[in-house]
Structure 1
């Protein structure tokens, strides 16, 4: 891999992605409050979350059948223990919410999270390096986390609200090349969250080779369905109970 290789691939993808089909893997017509739960990461990443809040999150995830709980690393052991005998996955975060940690730090975080029992990892892309078109650094950042995560699912947050169209395409291309399992729209900590146009862009760029997670500002059933219709196959939400109710 080289800077020139990525520049050429990104330019080519940017020129043609709009002509690609919008692939969907979900039967949208059959979705209801109960069935949509399996596509939702029930999320609590607020810095002031307390143990009782995290336990409530886990209990709700079991009750409604959410795909996972997504929590800060400090709560990972508690969630792993609480959800041990359930089908709910445990997801935690790396380089969150800025993505500006060193690559070595991110890889160590990922390694520790997996050792503590994380099934999935949501990492934040290095936005500054992306904007500088330092594509090799961005690629390596994701690649090292994917390698450190071993068999855990890695979702890369590209923070779409901070990117222009070409940067969004570049982020998707680099994450896909580095072996990320999902591209995620937003942290929810930097301006607007998921937008339908961004979900469609991501899906057209990555095709069927990566998942797409829409997150940020999704608070009701109709919005969640619209995101899935646009190409997402995972939803990140703190209002998960309201969505399924």
Structure 2
């Protein structure tokens, strides 16, 4: 694929705890320059980014990175993010409830956040590195039944990131209205293209420019 096409799949990401405004500002300028899908940023920066870059699609994270805060906290975080100008929400599921076998609780939490986001995009991070295959399949079903827009592989802060076999598994088990976001540990243009070929509709990465411009030089 041409790099111009690949950039359109990218949620340009900066989520480290020590990310400064200078870094966020540069991220936004790059996202606009390369026509990326969105910037994925911490909630504390949404309002300022929306004011400075009103035409930029803003994605943020909720319940991040562990997912084990209560549902009311995730709901409040989502409402505030949308009020501040976010267009897309990437929520982390309660992984402990998956391990407890309480899939219904996970599904209903996703459903609640989708009711809040309404026409805005809701992506559901299932953190595949902590789940076995049966749990991954169960989460594909939960995301589909709850009406979310995307299932997402990883936070990038767990013990592992996006794996091609997981994207293929998701593609097989999600419903027709659910898309896939691969994120975490994608380090080359070849990996990006492989994820997209396997079914990914978005790529979450902080390294898109490094990967794609290096590919151009080669």
Do both share a fold (TM > 0.5)? Answer: yes
Q: Which of 27, 38, 41 is matched with 2:8 structurally?
A: 38
How many residue pairs align between the two structures? 213
Equivalent residues in 2 for 1:10-159 (5 A)? 31-84=1-54, 86=55, 88-159=56-127
Question: What is the distance in 2 between the residues matched to 1:103 and 1:59?
Answer: 34
Q: Which runs of 5+ in 1 are unaligned?
A: 1-30
Question: What is the distance in 1 between the residues matched to 2:109 and 2:48?
Answer: 28
8 Å contact kept, 2:114–2:147: yes
Q: Deviations over 1:3-55 (max 9, x none)?
A: xxxxxxxxxxxxxxxxxxxxxxxxxxxx2111111110000000000010000
8 Å contact kept, 2:144–2:175: no
8 Å contact kept, 1:33–1:243: no
Question: What is the distance in 2 between the residues matched to 1:34 and 1:244?
Answer: 9
2:196 is the counterpart of 1:196: no
1:218 counterpart residue number: 186
Q: Which runs of 5+ in 2 are unaligned?
A: 214-218
2:129 is the counterpart of 1:161: yes
Question: What is the distance in 1 between the residues matched to 2:110 and 2:86?
Answer: 17
8 Å contact kept, 1:202–1:212: yes
Higher RCO (CA 8 Å, separation ≥ 6 residues): 1
Question: What is the distance in 1 between the residues matched to 2:135 and 2:52?
Answer: 40
Deviation for aligned residue 1:244: 2.7
Give the ranges of 4+ consecutive aligned residues of structure 1 lying more than 6 Å apart after TM superposition. none
Query: What's the secondary structure of 1:69's corresponding residue?
Result: strand
Deviation for aligned residue 1:67: 0.3
Query: What's the secondary structure of 2:122's corresponding residue?
Result: strand
Query: What's the secondary structure of 2:8's corresponding residue?
Result: helix
